[in-house]
């Protein structure tokens, strides 16, 4: 019988790429999610019955245990940007990761992969980074042979980074950024998935890997590259951190007073994170140790950002027509 992997958060941005790759290798894949009916799209990743979405609440021991039964490997992709409510940073990124690792150890699961983030630090003043760091520590204490992946900002067709700012560029001539001079090292989602699969199948040595793409640029330059791809000219304005913190406080209160009807555009915790570069640390293990050549931005961005161009899919045709008129 083929081996089984349980992927917590397997229908999310990163998880779906891992699920697809595991299925192609012949593994049976359990996609553990809160709403299985919204994850039906993962079924065609394999043959009939090979990839199945199953109900799981990562905040509940028995729920996590049930979907892990018989698994040869587990991958935890569950993360959150919600600072409040039941699915907050502590409940999901610290306690949730600990729960998956503890039950994996109890059930004798051979391998575990934890998707974390660059900047994860249990001592950080950012709750997001702190809980990521606490989750890592819990996993390594319970599953010492686990593979921890720390990607920089992840890009790909379903991302919430370039898609978000490309959408904002439609709203006017000015594009405000917090931390415009902060450096990032964007990493392609399928490269992260490939690293995760190597961890789940035992091809990657245990330990912590920091994953960054070949392009290391400031936030401002990354958005400039995005604007070039979507053929739009916008004036990029850097919002000072002090002002951004005040905006975050106001947005958080509006979200709270409206019961989440108007989600915060930026939070104080995000501002804290943006004060620090999000790049691979010097001397850290990464793609090189995994034998993976990371994908560049220019190879992927045009494939999914074309829809934000002024004329969408017809922009290239218009450009070609202008070239004919000039000859």
- 152-181 pLDDT, tens digit per residue, is 999 999 999 999 999 999 999 999 999 999
SS3 216: coil
In CATH, the number for domain 4-155+186-213+278-294 is 3.40.50.720
User: What are the residues facing 177 on neighbouring strands?
Assistant: 238
Report the pLDDT averaged over residues 127-140: 97
Mean pLDDT taken over the chain? 93
Closest CA to 184 of 124, 225, 241, 146: 225
Rounded CA gap, 152 and 294, in Å? 12
pLDDT-based confidence at residue 64 (cuts at 50, 70, 90): very high
- pLDDT > 70? residue 221: yes
Structure tokens at 238: 């850097």
pLDDT of residue 265: 85
- pLDDT > 60? residue 208: yes
Interacting residues of 206 by C-beta distance below 8 A, sequence separation 6+: 144, 145, 146, 147
- 8-46 pLDDT, tens digit per residue, is 999 999 999 999 999 999 999 999 999 999 999 999 999
pLDDT of residue 89: 94
CA 162 from chain center: how many Å? Answer: 12
**Percent of the chain whose pLDDT exceeds 70:** 95
- φ and ψ of 148, to 5 deg: -105, 125
Report the pLDDT averaged over residues 116-126: 95
Instruction: Tell me the HSE value of 302 on the side-chain side, using a 13 A CA sphere.
Output: 9
Closest CA to 9 of 77, 107, 81: 77
- pLDDT > 70? residue 320: no
Structure tokens at 9: 């958060």
Structure tokens at 212: 């960054």
- Region of 320 (left: φ > 0; alpha: ψ -120 to 50; beta: rest) is alpha
Angle at 148 between CA 143 and CA 154, to 5 degrees: 150
Rounded CA gap, 267 and 217, in Å? 23
- 229-276 pLDDT, tens digit per residue, is 999 999 999 999 999 999 999 988 898 888 777 888 899 999 999 999
pLDDT-based confidence at residue 315 (cuts at 50, 70, 90): low
- pLDDT > 70? residue 128: yes
pLDDT-based confidence at residue 95 (cuts at 50, 70, 90): very high
Structure tokens at 17: 């790429």
pLDDT of residue 323: 60
Domain boundaries, the chain: 4-155+186-213+278-294
pLDDT of residue 261: 79
Report the pLDDT averaged over residues 189-208: 98
Pick the range with the lowest mean pLDDT from 123-127, 165-169, 304-308, 323-327: 323-327
- pLDDT > 90? residue 326: no
pLDDT-based confidence at residue 211 (cuts at 50, 70, 90): very high
Rounded CA gap, 72 and 308, in Å? 42
CB atoms inside a 10 Å sphere around CB 51:
24
Structure tokens at 110: 């051979």
């Amino acid at each position: 019988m083929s081996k089984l992997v349980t992927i917590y958060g397997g229908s999310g941005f990163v998880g779906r790429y891992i699920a697809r790759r595991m299925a192609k290798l012949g593994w049976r894949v359990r996609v553990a999610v809160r709403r299985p009916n919204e994850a039906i799209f993962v079924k065609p990743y394999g043959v009939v019955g090979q990839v199945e979405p199953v109900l799981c609440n990562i905040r509940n021991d028995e729920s996590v245990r049930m979907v892990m039964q018989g698994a040869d490997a587990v991958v935890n992709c569950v993360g959150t940007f919600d600072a409040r409510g039941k699915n907050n940073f502590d409940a999901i990124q610290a306690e949730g990761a600990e729960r998956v690792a503890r039950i994996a150890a109890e059930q004798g699961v051979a391998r575990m992969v934890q998707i974390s983030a660059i900047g994860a630090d249990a001592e950080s003043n950012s709750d997001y980074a702190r809980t990521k760091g606490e989750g890592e520590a819990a996993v390594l204490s319970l599953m010492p042979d686990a593979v921890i992946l720390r990607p920089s900002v992840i890009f790909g067709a379903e991302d919430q980074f370039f898609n978000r700012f490309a959408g904002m560029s439609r709203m006017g001539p000015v594009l405000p950024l917090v931390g415009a001079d902060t450096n990032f090292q964007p990493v392609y989602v399928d490269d992260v998935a490939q690293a995760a699969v190597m961890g789940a199948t035992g091809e990657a040595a245990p330990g912590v890997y920091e994953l960054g793409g070949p392009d290391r640029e400031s936030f401002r330059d990354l958005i400039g590259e995005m604007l070039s791809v979507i053929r739009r000219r916008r004036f990029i304005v850097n919002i000072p951190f002090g002002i951004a913190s005040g905006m975050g406080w106001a947005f958080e209160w509006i979200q709270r007073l409206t019961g989440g009807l108007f989600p915060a555009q930026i939070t104080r915790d995000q501002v804290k994170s943006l004060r620090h570069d999000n790049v691979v640390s010097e001397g850290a293990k990464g793609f090189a140790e995994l034998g993976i050549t990371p994908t560049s931005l220019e190879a992927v961005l045009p494939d999914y950002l074309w829809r934000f161009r002024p004329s969408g899919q017809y922009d290239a045709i218009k450009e070609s027509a202008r070239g004919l008129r000039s000859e």
